[in-house]
Amino acid sequence: MDEDIICIGCGAILQSDDPKKAGYLPASALEKAKNEDSDDVYCKRCFRLRHYNEIMPVDLNNDDFLALLNSLATKKALIVNVVDLFDFSNSLLSSLKRFVGDNEFILVGNKFDLFPKNSRQSKIKDWMRQEANRMGLHPKKIFLISAARQKNLDALIEYLNKASEDRDIYFVGMTNVGKSTLINAIIDKMGDIQNLITTSRFPGTTLDRIEIPLENGHFLVDTPGIMSNNQLATRLNPKDLESVSPKKPLKPATFQLLPGNTIFLGGLGRIDYLKGESTSFTVYAARGVTLHRTKTAKADEFYEKHVGELLVPPTGENYVGELKGQEFHTDYKSDLLFGGIGFVTVPKDCVVKTYTPDKIGLGIRRALI
C-alpha cells in the first residue's frame, strides 16, 4: 500500500483526487514525490502561497468551520464576512451571530462592479444592514468593493490597518463570494505584507487557516470557504457557473407584460406575472443567461421541452433541482431576487410568483435602482 505523504506547509495528506480539497497536488507531482521519497513536499495551495503570494481556497466541512468559529469567541479579533452582492442572503453567514461575541464584525459586499452605474451605494448598504439585522447580525461597518477590479479597496485597507493594531483579522465567507480574490488583492496592495511573506520562512499555515503576518505582529487570517447546497454555485458545472457569473455591469432588459405572462431566466429562474396592470419588468442578469417570454399557461410545458437548449444555463444534462416557486406582492417598486443569477425590477402593486431550483436565493427588496 502507498504510504501517505504529508504537505510540510499545512500538514494535510497529499492527494490528487480533488483540487478543491486540502492537500491537493497534481498526480504527476505526487508520483514524483513518492518515487523520490521526498520529505519536503508542499501541496499546490502552500506552494502557490510560498512562491507567488497567492491564496488558494480549500473547502472544509461545517463542523471544522464551527470549531474554528468557536475558537474566535475567546480571542480579540475583527471578523470580516465577505459576501457576494448577487447572492447576498446565501452568502451571509448566519452562524456567525453565536460566535462574534464582543468582537467587532464588519460586512464586505463584493462584486459591486456588477451593479449598473447609477446604483446608489447608500441604498445598497441600507438593504444589507436590514438583512443582516434580520439574521441577528449587527455589522459595525459595511464596505462595498470589487475585489476583481480593485475598486473601493483603499478605505477597507485603511480600516483593516487600524484595526490590526490591537488584534488579528479573520476573513470568513461562503465559497465563490470572492474571498480569495480579495485577500490576494489586499496582499498585493499592502507591499509590506508581500515582503514579509516572501522573507519569512513560511507563514503560519495550518489546515483550517492561513495566517499572514503583518508588520505590527498581528495577523490576517484567511479561513476556508464554506460550501452550501443553497448556493447555486455549488450546483452548476464550471462552464455554467462561468456563464451565470457576470464579468461586466449588468445590462437591463425590459419586457412589457400583462398578467398571464412568464419570463424565464435561462433554465434557472422563472417569474410569472399573476395580477396587476399592463406594465414593464426589467431583468438584470448575466449575458450568458438566455431570457424568454411565454404564456404562463404554457410555461411548464415550454420548460420541459426547452431546458438545456433554449433555456440555458444549465446546459445539457446538468440537473440542478426542480424549479419551485413562491408568491410575492409588491407594496412598492421592488427587486425580485434570484440569488446567484440576478434580479427583476417590478413596479408597485403587482402579484408575481418567482421560481428557482428548490427556491434557492428567492427574495424581495425595495428596488435599488
Residues within the interface to ligand GDP (CB under 6 A): 57, 110-111, 113-114, 146-149, 173, 175-181, 225, 245-247
Asked if residue 202 lies in contact with residue 50, where contact means CB atoms within 8 angstroms, the answer is yes
For the CB of residue 123, give the shortest distance to ligand GDP in the complex, in Å: 19
Q: How far is the CB of 151 from ligand GDP (least distance, A)?
A: 7
221 or 364, CB closer to ligand GDP? 221
Query: Could you tell me the smallest distance in angstroms from the CB atom of residue 284 to ligand GDP?
Result: 13
**Distance in Å, CB of 144 to ligand GDP, minimum:** 10
Residue where the block lists cell 424581495: 364
Quote the CA–CA distance of 205 and 78 in Å, as a whole number. Answer: 19
Asked if residue 145 lies in contact with residue 179, where contact means CB atoms within 8 angstroms, the answer is no
Measured from the CB atom, the residue of 242 and 301 that comes closer to ligand GDP is 242
Q: Can you tell me the distance from the alpha carbon of 323 to that of 269, in angstroms, rounded to the nearest whole number?
A: 7
Q: Are 334 and 345 in contact (CB under 8 A)?
A: yes
| Bridge partners, residue 141, by sequence | 106
In the complex, minimum distance from the CB of residue 109 to ligand GDP, in angstroms, rounded to a whole number: 10
Q: How far is the CB of 45 from ligand GDP (least distance, A)?
A: 12
Strand, coil or helix: 49: helix
Cβ proximity to ligand GDP: between 225 and 357 the closer is: 225
**Amino acid code (one letter) for 10:** C
- Shortest Cβ 234–ligand GDP spacing (Å): 11
Distance, in Å, from the CA atom of 268 to the CA atom of 356, rounded to the nearest integer, reads 6
Query: Which of 137, 177 has the CB closer to ligand GDP?
Result: 177
Closest residue to ligand GDP, based on beta-carbon distance: 178
Minimum CB distance to ligand GDP smaller for 247 or for 295: 247
* Residue 66 grid cell: 464551527
Q: What angle do CA 237, 226, 137 make, to 5 degrees?
A: 125
Q: Which helix (H) or strand (E) holds 326?
A: strand 323-329
Cβ proximity to ligand GDP: between 15 and 146 the closer is 146
Give the residue with the Cβ less far from ligand GDP, 214 or 233: 233
Q: How many helices (H) and strands (E) does the chain have?
A: 11, 17
